[in-house]
Structure 1
Amino acid sequence: MNGTLLRGLFDTFAHLLINIAPNIMEKKYIFLLFLSLSLFSFGQTNCEDANSDLIYAYSNVKSSYDSNNISHLKYYANKSLEAFNRSKKSLENCGCDAAYNLSYDAAELLAKVENEATFEDGRFYVKRAREIAKQSITELDKCTVPTTETNDLLALENEQERLEQMQNALKAEEAAIKAKLVAQKQQTLALKKEVLINVYKQAMSSNLETYNSTLEVCDCADKPLKDVSSNTDEISTKSLEDIKSHFIENMKDLASNYLAQLDLCLDD
């Protein structure tokens, strides 16, 4: 219930009491009731003003904490500091000592941000002030009847934090899945290379054996042909196409050496 509405109800109620007082009560009871309602209205108004200032202070200290540079950090920290300083008088009149002390502590921390040279040092004080700001709102709620606006804001904030945590968890899971897929892709490629290299090496070995056997039959085996393939570890660093090209060139060289050996036999 806002302060304007309370004051309106109070004025109406006081007017009725004054009109019927001569018949049902002494003037001193009217005065005491008048004073009680007045104090309640005044205190409730101050608590509502303080609540607005604390919510504004918390919003700005959160923006300061979420900023990514020192200029924005100090800008929002200063706006939050101003709101906390405004809230002190209202909190004092509201009578909520716990919220007042927390507001004082938060203002003390935020006052140090302006003189900090680095983003990290300033953010250290902002982080502490942010937590205290949230606590000050909670403590003020304990001192007053919780308003729908405050409850909705805190519920929204909690829901936002929950959604952010879920989003971060999903991002982490997505990154893990991507890393796993990359590892599987690399493992599959390595296996394909290994199979391809073994197939070509077996073909090379078979050709080499056939060529040397033929040369021996032709009495041309003075200089047996040798496998000129590179080291397997070295070849495996190449792409699949490069591996294929490498072995085809080796087979061509082996075939050329074989034919050259046969030509030498004819010359002899």
Structure 2
Amino acid sequence: MIDSHCHLDFPAFDHDRAAVIARSQALGVRKMIVAGISRQHWPRLWNTVQTNAGLYAAFGLHPYFLAEHHNQDLLALREYLTRYQDHPKLCAVGEIGLDFLLTDLDRQRQIDLFEQQLELAAEFNLPVIIHARRANAQVTACLKQAKLPRAGIIHAFSGSYEEAMEYIKLGFLLGFGGAATWPRATRLQGVLKRLPLEHIVLETDSPDMPPAWLATGQRNSPEQLPQICQQLAAVLGISSAELAAQTSKNVQRLLNLSA
């Protein structure tokens, strides 16, 4: 299995990061994509992926932290992408996108930042990892305008079937994780059932987005991905082995992860 979205560089893992990675890989989660959120986090993110086999980096400016981002951060992102563009550990630009759920975040500034990062992804021929909350129509519009040479992943997809198909038409993969394991997530599970397996990927978003079996406030980790896979395979009516194999193939095809 491949965890297509996690944050193993976060302080929540500082006391046992190596052990979590070892346990996850022993359970079959062989590769993990660590998504960036801000310029300040990129150095520790890169150190995390550099010092652990099977981890890969994405650098980006997350819309949730809009107040922390400055114009020079885009220049810094270009510098990072230039420095590591030929490194096998760099796999995407992300986590980028739009968050319209949080009303105190300036929408136009979010859009401007998102579009500029899409331009960088196109320039460096990299896929994108996208955060989209209550913003699927605007994200889709930006993607159509950007005309990326490579597509990407819509992280933690929670939209409608119609929105999913708009992304799929653009070549995107849709990330599913802990949110879809909750009994109340019947609408999301209904969407999942209708999607082609070739466009689904698995993720944890750890330490966040816990699956249904973790207690409130308990840290999520890539160790949970096998059980997430089992739960979602049951929703789809297929074996967990089939879901694991196909979703890993999907991520590998998109990101060209090294062995």
Using the size of structure 2 for normalisation, the TM-score is 0.20
User: Which of the two has greater strand per residue?
Assistant: 2
Higher alpha-carbon Rg: 1
- Which structure has more relative contact order (CA 8 Å, sep 6+)? It is 2
Normalised by the size of structure 1, how large is the TM-score? 0.20
